[in-house]
Amino acid sequence: MVRPVLLFLCTLSPSISPAQETSHGGSSTAIYSPAPHGLWFTAGLGYASVDCRNGCTTGAPSGQIGAGWTLGRNVLLGGMVSGWTKGDDFLRLTIGSADLRVRVYPVSSIGFFFTGGLGAGMIRLSPGPATQGNAITRFGHAFLGGAGCDFHVSRRASVTLYADGSGVRTWGENQLSADVWKLGLGATLR
């Protein structure tokens, strides 16, 4: 359901392919022409629902930040850090990941993209203010898949709508796992 909505919104996006130009007082300038190579940065805030795979499902704000290298007009590769946390008087749950991600734009004239990544994940259970005890932190692997759309506001900047799902699975004894479903809005500079 989310992917068709994102695709529809992207067709309404004001992005213009590098070949399309606009005229201002007799001079012609390209409105949007992402560099085929170079650095890119992105950051976003959103809301995430977490499924802990033992019957608990809860939601709270989430965030992510990343940077990387543009491999071509249609492919971005980089590192991303994302996190989510929620607590009450008794317990705080924190889930985070640091991963290598790729963002692929199937059609360069619109801002719609697919994204995927693999990396390291962390799940931390810590006592709330009304309880005592030690925090439990487990590390493992994380994987991510999703889609999004860039709504271009200038030649190098865009507002980015994204929806993705990620999973964190810890290693060792007392393995923990969590699935995080995110919907967010951010900014991308290329």
Q: Over the stretch 165-180, which tens digit does the pLDDT of each residue have?
A: 999 999 887 788 899 9
- Phi and psi, residue 179, nearest 5°: -115, 130
What percent of the chain is modeled with pLDDT above 70?
79
Question: d(Cα 126, Cα 85) in Å, to the nearest integer?
Answer: 11
Contact 82, 116 (CB under 8 A): no
Tell me yes or no: is domain 2-11+47-182 CATH 2.40.160.20: yes
Q: Over the stretch 124-168, which tens digit does the pLDDT of each residue have?
A: 989 888 777 888 899 999 999 999 999 989 888 999 999 999 999
Question: d(Cα 145, Cα 139) in Å, to the nearest integer?
Answer: 20
Alpha carbons within 13 angstroms on the beta-carbon side of residue 66 total: 27
- Hunting for tokens 């033992």 — which residue is that? 54
What mean pLDDT do residues 51-72 have?
86
Annotate 78-92 with b (16+ C-beta within 10 A) or e (fewer): bebebbbbbeeeeeb
| Burial class of 116 by CB neighbour count within 10 A (0 to 12, 13 to 18, 19+) | middle
More reliable by pLDDT, 33 or 44: 44
Amino acid sitting at position 104? V
Domains in the chain: boundaries: 2-11+47-182
Q: Whole-model pTM?
A: 0.76
What mean pLDDT do residues 48-70 have?
87
Question: d(Cα 76, Cα 105) in Å, to the nearest integer?
Answer: 9
What mean pLDDT do residues 39-59 have?
87
Tokens at 174, concatenated: 């007392």
Per-residue pLDDT at 35 exceeds 80: no
| Candidate from 20-34, 60-74, 123-137, 158-172 with smallest mean pLDDT | 20-34
